[in-house]
Every structure is written in structure tokens, then in C-alpha cells.
């Protein structure tokens, strides 16, 4: 394992049992991710991107393989140690409405991680909630509003603010901008890039659209049938894909030319 890597993933495998037999989620996935870096994860539907994201979040236990975070064996952490460290990796999903309690206020949604992870004392929570909203380009007054009252783009900013609440080193964004209009999407991508430049965050940016993934990624990994079939600097993969899956993704993305 290299000392420099924030995240070192080795030989990760996960299968699911279904009625038809065993289904491959991910098979023998290995990669490093460095501090402040964005790895784009692209591939067709069913290629294992979300499974990989869920294993990294420890929402799903893999069958085999290792994950080291900052040199620490992330999959070996006990329940107690995991609880204390869970905020180190955060996730943003495609549909923020599904990820929030629809009746909660935005301030309430942001108070949850602050309380659960004991980030700040209770009396400091309102101030911290205002800061979090401002960090993602929203007015602090939005804390009083309900999540279903604001636009899709604002909701996704709140989801990013919630992810930031625990001071993560890595945010996994699983199709996080896929449901947004093009102009809103561009602004969210810009926000993510600004946060990364300012705070040195690392991202795993999952998407099926190479034209979007390449805007924010330094490197990309192309997945197919649970495996990484190609990985490299984003400009190389876009200009000269080596794998059949990479070639098909580039060919299916006319905006790249
Ligand atoms: N909970 C599950 N039970 C059974 N099979 C699953 C489950 N989650 C994912 N799969 C299967 O694992 C494979 C990878 O899925 P997924 O990781 O969601 O891919 P992606 O995010 O790239 O679309 C697919 O064949 C999918 O049907
Ligand atoms: Mg998915």
C-alpha cells in the first residue's frame, strides 16, 4: 500500500444472491485515490458503480478485498470505531428527496449529522448550520424552510452541505448531478470544484455520462460487469479509450467532439 494514498482499494469483490443464482456486484476492483483528487467512475448501468460506492461507505460488506483509508484498515473497524469514523467518508445520492425526511426543515436535516457525530456542541449548532449553508452558496435563512419547498438544485446543495457537516476527507457522489437540468448541473459541478480547491476534499464521482464525469474528474476508471476495465487520466481516456467499454462510452457521447 502506498503511503500517499488517501484511499487504497485492493481486490474488492462483492456478489449478490438472487433467485437466478449469484450476481456479480464488483469483481476484483483495485485503485488508489489521493488527497484532493477526483476519480470518475463511469460505466453502463449494472456495471457495479453503486455497489463499489456502497462497499466504501460500509453500507454493504464485501465478500473479499481490502480498503485502507489514510493507512487504516477501513473494513476491519469495529462497530464502535466505525461510528466514530463514519463521517470521514460521506455520500451524496441522485435523489435528495429520497435521502431526506420530507417533513424535516433544512436546518433539521443539517443538525442530524452534527448531533450524531458530535461535531459541535449543541449551542453552536445553529451557527454551524448557517455556515454549512453559506459554504454551498445558500443563504443561512434557508435553514427554516422545508426540503420539499426548495428547488432540485438547492436540495442537492443541501445534500452536499449535509455531507460536509462531518468534515469528510472523501465524498462519494453517486449520480449526484444526473437528475439536474444542464445549467443547474454546471453550477453544482463548479461548487464541487471550488470546495475541493479550498478544502482538499477527494471525490469519487459516479456517473454514466462521460461528458459530465470528465468535467470534474482528474482520473477516470471505466467499469464493466463489476470490473475496472480501463483507468487513466481523463484526457487520455476521452481522447484514446483502450477498452471496448471505454470506446463505446466515448462513441455514445457526441458532446465530446
Ligand atoms: N441488492 C442487490 N441484490 C441483487 N443484485 C444487486 C443488488 N444491487 C445490485 N445488484 C446487481 O449488481 C450489479 C451491479 O449493480 P450496481 O452496483 O447497482 O451497478 P451500477 O451502479 O453501475 O448501475 C447489477 O447486476 C445489479 O443488478
Ligand atoms: Mg448505480
User: How is the chain classified by DSSP, letter by letter?
Assistant: --TTEEEEEEEEEEEEEETTEEEEEEEEEEEEEETT-EEEEE--TTSSHHHHHHHHTTSS--SEEEEEETTEEGGG--HHHHHHHGGGEEEE-S-HHHHS-TTSBHHHHHHHHHHHTT-S-GGGHHHHHHHHHHHTT--GGGGGSBGGGS-HHHHHHHHHHHHHTT--SEEEEESTTTTS-HHHHHHHHHHHHHHHHHH--EEEEEES-HHHHHHH-SEEEEEETTEEEEEEEHHHHHHS--SHHHHHHHHT-GGG-
The mean predicted confidence, pLDDT, of the chain is: 94
17 lines ligand 1 (CB under 6 A): no
Extract the residue ranges of the chain whose pLDDT is less than 50. Answer: 1-2
**The pLDDT value given to residue 2:** 47
87 lines ligand 1 (CB under 6 A): no
| Number of the ligand closest to the Cα of 43 | 1
**Closest residue CA from atom 27 of ligand 1:** 46
Domain boundaries 5-256, corresponding CATH code? 3.40.50.300
- Ligand 2 centroid to 47 CA: how many Å? 8
**Closest residue CA from atom 18 of ligand 1:** 50
- Ligand 2 centroid to 142 CA: how many Å? 30
- Ligand 1 centroid to 163 CA: how many Å? 24
In the chain, where are the structural domains located?
A: 5-256
**The pLDDT value given to residue 101:** 86
**The pLDDT value given to residue 103:** 83
**The pLDDT value given to residue 166:** 96
Which of 12, 47, 48 is the best mutation target for the ligand 1 pocket, counting ligand atoms within 8 Å of the beta carbon and taking the most?
48
- Ligand 1 centroid to 25 CA: how many Å? 5
Grid coordinates representing 35 are 488527497
**Closest residue CA from atom 3 of ligand 1:** 16
pTM, to two decimals: 0.95
**The pLDDT value given to residue 257:** 52
**The pLDDT value given to residue 1:** 47
50 lines ligand 1 (CB under 6 A): yes
Amino acid at each position: 500500500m502506498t503511503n500517499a494514498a488517501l484511499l487504497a482499494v485492493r481486490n474488492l469483490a462483492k456478489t449478490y444472491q438472487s433467485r437466478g443464482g449469484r450476481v456479480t456486484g464488483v469483481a476484483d476492483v483495485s485503485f488508489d485515490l489521493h488527497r484532493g483528487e477526483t476519480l470518475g467512475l463511469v460505466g453502463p448501468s449494472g456495471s457495479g458503480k453503486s455497489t463499489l460506492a456502497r462497499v466504501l461507505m460500509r453500507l454493504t460488506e464485501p465478500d473479499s478485498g481490502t480498503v485502507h483509508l489514510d493507512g487504516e484498515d477501513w473494513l476491519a473497524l469495529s462497530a464502535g470505531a466505525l461510528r466514530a469514523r463514519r463521517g470521514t467518508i460521506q455520500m451524496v445520492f441522485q435523489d435528495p428527496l429520497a435521502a431526506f425526511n420530507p417533513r424535516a426543515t433544512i436546518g433539521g436535516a443539517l443538525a442530524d449529522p452534527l448531533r450524531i457525530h458530535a461535531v459541535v456542541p449543541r449551542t453552536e449548532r445553529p451557527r454551524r448550520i448557517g455556515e454549512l449553508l453559506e459554504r454551498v452558496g445558500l443563504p443561512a435563512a434557508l435553514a427554516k424552510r422545508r426540503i420539499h419547498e426548495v428547488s432540485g438544485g438547492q436540495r442537492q446543495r443541501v445534500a452536499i452541505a449535509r455531507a460536509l457537516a462531518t468534515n469528510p476527507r472523501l465524498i462519494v457522489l453517486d449520480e449526484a448531478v444526473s437528475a439536474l437540468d444542464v445549467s443547474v448541473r454546471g453550477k453544482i459541478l463548479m461548487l464541487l470544484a471550488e470546495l475541493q480547491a479550498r478544502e482538499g476534499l477527494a471525490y469519487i464521482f459516479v456517473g454514466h455520462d462521460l461528458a459530465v464525469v470528465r468535467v470534474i474528474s482528474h482520473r477516470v476508471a471505466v467499469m464493466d460487469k463489476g470490473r475496472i476495465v480501463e483507468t487513466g487520466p481523463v484526457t487520455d481516456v476521452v481522447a484514446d479509450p483502450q477498452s471496448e467499454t471505454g470506446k463505446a462510452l466515448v462513441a455514445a457521447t457526441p458532446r465530446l467532439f
